[in-house]
Amino acid sequence: MDRDELRALQAPLKERYRASPEAAIVTLTAQGALGEGVSCSVETGRALAVAGLHPASGGDGTLLCSGDMLLEALVACAGVTLRAVATSLGVDVRGGRVRAEGDLDFRGTLGVDREAPVGFRAIRLGFEVDAPDADDEQLATLLRLTERYCVVLQTLRAGVAPTSSVERA
């Protein structure tokens, strides 16, 4: 897809959202089913992802870790966003890699130390891009706009507080 194709694809959406801001509000959903043992099967729309305990919390490593899935969602969103931004700017990105890594202290989630945080202490996102014709300013703009428009990154940075509930099945 080139810049003109992307703009043609997005132009009617942008116009619709300018005219009717409420049309831009979309509720995404995810659901899963509690599985055998300590597991939960998540419907991804393409496949069934079965999550379980990370080996650092007692898992055997055969099931997906939800922490890894969070980082994978960040990588996917950042990669797609970078591609869209590069296309929009006309920056020829021939390939590359996106990497996310995060630090967890499992004492928190296992209740070993009440002072230890439950969740990631730090998350680092990095890009390696094969864009031989891009200068440093273009790469800086590519990173800045990717950060600005990446939904998962902005959600993590904003610290959105999810709500939760429980019902009888």
Q: 72-118 pLDDT, tens per residue?
A: 999 999 999 999 999 999 999 999 999 999 999 999 999 999 999 99
- Three-state DSSP at 93 gives coil
What would the mean pLDDT of 135-158 be, rounded to a whole number?
97
Read off the pLDDT band of 34 (50, 70, 90): confident
Q: Is the pTM of this model over 0.75?
A: yes
* Residue 148 one-letter amino acid: R
Give CA–CA dist 40/146, Å, rounded. 32
Q: What is the pLDDT of residue 40?
A: 87
Give the mean pLDDT of the chain. Answer: 92
How far apart, in Å, are the Cα atoms of 68 and each of 98, 134, 151, 167? 14, 32, 17, 28
Choices 3.30.300.20, 3.40.50.1980, 3.30.9.10, 3.30.420.40: CATH for 3-158: 3.30.300.20
Read off the pLDDT band of 141 (50, 70, 90): very high
Q: 50-61 pLDDT, tens per residue?
A: 999 999 999 999
pLDDT greater at residue 123 or residue 42: 123
Give CA–CA dist 53/55, Å, rounded. 6
pLDDT greater at residue 45 or residue 163: 163
Q: Is the separation of the CB atoms in 94 and 131 below 8 Å?
A: yes
Give CA–CA dist 52/57, Å, rounded. 10
